[in-house]
Amino acid sequence: MSDAPAKAVADRLLKVKRLNALLTPPKDLRKSLGAQAAAARPTGVLYGMPIAVKDNICTLEFTTSCGSRILEGYRSPYDATAVARLKAAGALIAGKTNCDEFAMGSSTEHSAYGRVIHPLDKTRVPGGSSGGSAALVAAGAVPAALGSDTGGSVRQPASFCGVVGIKPTYGRVSRYGLVAFGSSLDQIGVLGRSVHDAARVLSVISGRDPRDATCEDRDPLRLPTVPESLQGFVVGLPREYFPSELDPAVRRACERAVRMMKEQGAAVREVSLPHTPYAVPAYYVLAPAEASSNLARFDGVRYGPRFNGAADLRALYRSTRGQGFGAEVRRRILVGTYVLSAGYYDAYYRRAQQMRALIAQDFRNVFDRGVDLLFTPTTPTPAFKAGEKLSDPVSMYLSDIFTVTANLAGLPAISLPIGRVKGLPIGGQLIGQAFLEEEMLEAAYALERVVPATDEA
Amino acid sequence: MSVTRDEVLRIARLAELDVDDDTLPELAEQMSRILDYVAQLSAVPANGAMKGFVPGPDAIRFRPDEVYPQPLAFGPDEFAPAFKEGFFVVPRLDQFE
């Protein structure tokens, strides 16, 4: 490949620098893209496609800081499996995207490298934690980007920015090289301009990987064909996802999408997932508990900078972690340590684990009764104002209310644009059955084709 | 559930995390609010026999017991803060707790 396409990719990315969505310095980006273009395999199915990668996914070319000071300047000695597969398919890794520190956040305001700006309204957040990936796709700088989704971190920013976001079934994509936050919840996902762009990338990165014992022993996802209609699909509308306090514009957009699914031949029925109200509380016990354990490895000994002056080893740990982690990560480590500590484990952690089982059972009950897919809003509101939820962590956590359940139950889900309110995008979510992404993507293709994604709801 | 300043300090010690005095009151208040919020899980009757749910394969797959070459492009001397002669260098541990 000549230098021209690589130069064009770099130019497009640097043109949207004002969004603060890309962490890779321009010089490094130009140099690497040139080298990658020269080495790219022309027969690969993604030949020449620029794909940005969230900064918590390891890449050889670029630093992997996870949006944190504690990994500032860290270069991974290996590529994540997902990244290696993109390269093998001829894609160009188009730099690392800004994100909430260690993927903990719903607004991409919790990055040590500054907040990401919403591409359509600079006063608002792009969602998070994969906000940089979503903003770059929405701004047209790249056709697709990798993100990670632990509680909605691909789908919520996709919804806020008006792009497509897929979280695959847990075990569909290898987590090797994804810096762990909540290991039983994390999945690498894809953000794209369209269902097809995102699905194409997902099919390349999916499939068995001996380096990740939690990755299922399955072939890569096959790309489904675009269906003629939704004839034969049974779509469930869980009543707990349409509460009376739902933003009226979000409700209108969902109702319009449902009408269109019916017109396409889908059978739509109301269903119930009764334990949904407990999903966010369960998630905010389990995810911090896993995070407190996973982030124990960052201590100023093996990776990243050392913040010290300390003469004693424990003082070194404490000063490095105290200064290296930002406020939200510190808060979650403390909550996680608390719920796992003696005397509190049964009251919090064990109960949250049991609640997770009940939530997963709710989904099984609905799918066992003949429902193929569920349709819900992705988020309760469109993108909120920057700073609006920063001082109140619980209010921030509630923006994940419709997305965390798919992570708790390990199910695939996709968010796609279904309308706008005052120019801000609204996303609709389809939740599928485990490892039935093809069916979910077929329905998403059909819905995408008819829904007026940029019209006011 | 109100978390006291001393509890925050105890937990921070367990987590090997320095917390400065200025942020302690706010941290205690926010932790209390989070723990109050998640405490609604106790509204659901506890079932001691019920197992938790973890997604993923039902059983761990074993790989052949063979030695593979390290798939690293470079060694820890390039990314560790202090590394000498094959060892990570750290200050002395003054005392065990």
**How many angstroms separate the CA atoms of A376 and A388, rounded?**
24
Confidence of residue B97 (pLDDT cuts 50, 70, 90): low
Is residue A176 within 8 Å of A183, Cβ to Cβ? no
Check if the beta carbon of residue A65 is closer than 8 Å to that of residue A55. yes
A 125-144 residues with CB below 8 A of B? none
- Tell me which residue of A205, A237, A207 sits closest to A46, measured CA to CA: A205
Angle of CA points A87, A435, A153, to nearest 5°: 65
Mean pLDDT value across residues B21-45: 91
Mean pLDDT for A116-137 is 98
> What's the pLDDT tens digit per position in B42-93?
887 767 778 888 888 777 777 788 887 777 999 999 999 999 999 999 998 8
Residue B91: which of A312, A323, A351 has the nearest Cβ? Answer: A312
Q: What is the pLDDT of residue A168?
A: 98
Model pLDDT for residues A347-364, shown as the tens digit of each residue: 999 999 999 999 999 999
Higher pLDDT, B62 or A15: A15
Asked if the model's pLDDT at residue A208 lies above 70, the reply is yes
Q: What are phi and psi of A385, to 5 degrees?
A: -70, 145
pTM: 0.96
**Mean pLDDT of the A274-294 span:** 97
- Which residues of A are marked as active site? 54, 129, 153
- Contact: B88, A347; criterion CB under 8 Å: no
Q: Rounded to whole angstroms, how far apart are CA atoms A310 and A51?
A: 41
Q: What six digits make up the tokens of A145?
A: 């980007």
User: Which residues 347-366 on chain A approach chain B with CB closer than 8 angstroms?
Assistant: 347-348, 350-360
Rounded CA Rg of chain A: 21
- Both structure tokens of B51: 């197992």
**Chain segment A151-183, per-residue pLDDT in tens:** 999 999 999 999 999 999 999 999 999 999 999
The rounded distance, in Å, linking the Cα atoms of A350 and A337 is 14
For residue B45, the model assigns a pLDDT of: 73
- Look at B57 and A322 and tell me if their CB atoms are within 8 Å: no
What average pLDDT does range A267-273 have in this prediction? 98
Q: What is the DSSP letter of A420?
A: E
What distance in Å separates the CA atoms of residue A231 and residue A213, rounded to the nearest whole number? Answer: 38
Q: How much is the pLDDT for B95? A: 64
- CB A68: neighbour CB atoms within 10 A? 27
Sign of CA dihedral A18, A24, A25, A27: negative
The pLDDT of residue A311: 80
Evaluated on CA atoms A99, A101, A102, A108, the torsion sign reads negative
How far does the CA of residue A312 sit from the closest CA of chain B (Å)? 5
A208 in contact with chain B, both atoms CB, cutoff 8 A: no
The stretch A331-357 carries a mean pLDDT of 94
* Facing A337 at nearest CB: one of B11, B35, B55: B11
The answer to whether the CB of A113 falls within 8 A of the CB of A23 is yes
Residue A237 pLDDT exceeds 80: yes
Give mean pLDDT, residues A3-25: 93
Output the CA–CA distances (angstroms, integers) from residue B12 to A9, A372, B15, B28, in the order listed.
Answer: 45, 46, 5, 11
pLDDT of residue A329: 98
The half-sphere exposure of A102 on its side-chain side, counting CA atoms within 13 A, is 28
Q: A285 CB near a chain B CB, below 8 Å?
A: yes
pLDDT > 70: percent of chain A: 99
pLDDT in tens, A381-430: 999 999 999 988 888 888 899 999 999 999 999 999 999 999 999 999 99
Partner B contacted by A314 (CB < 8 A): yes
Distance CA A193, CA A448 (A): 11
State how far the Cα of A374 lies from the Cα of A418, in Å rounded to an integer.
15
pLDDT number for residue B44: 76
Q: Are A315 and B74 in contact (CB under 8 A)?
A: no
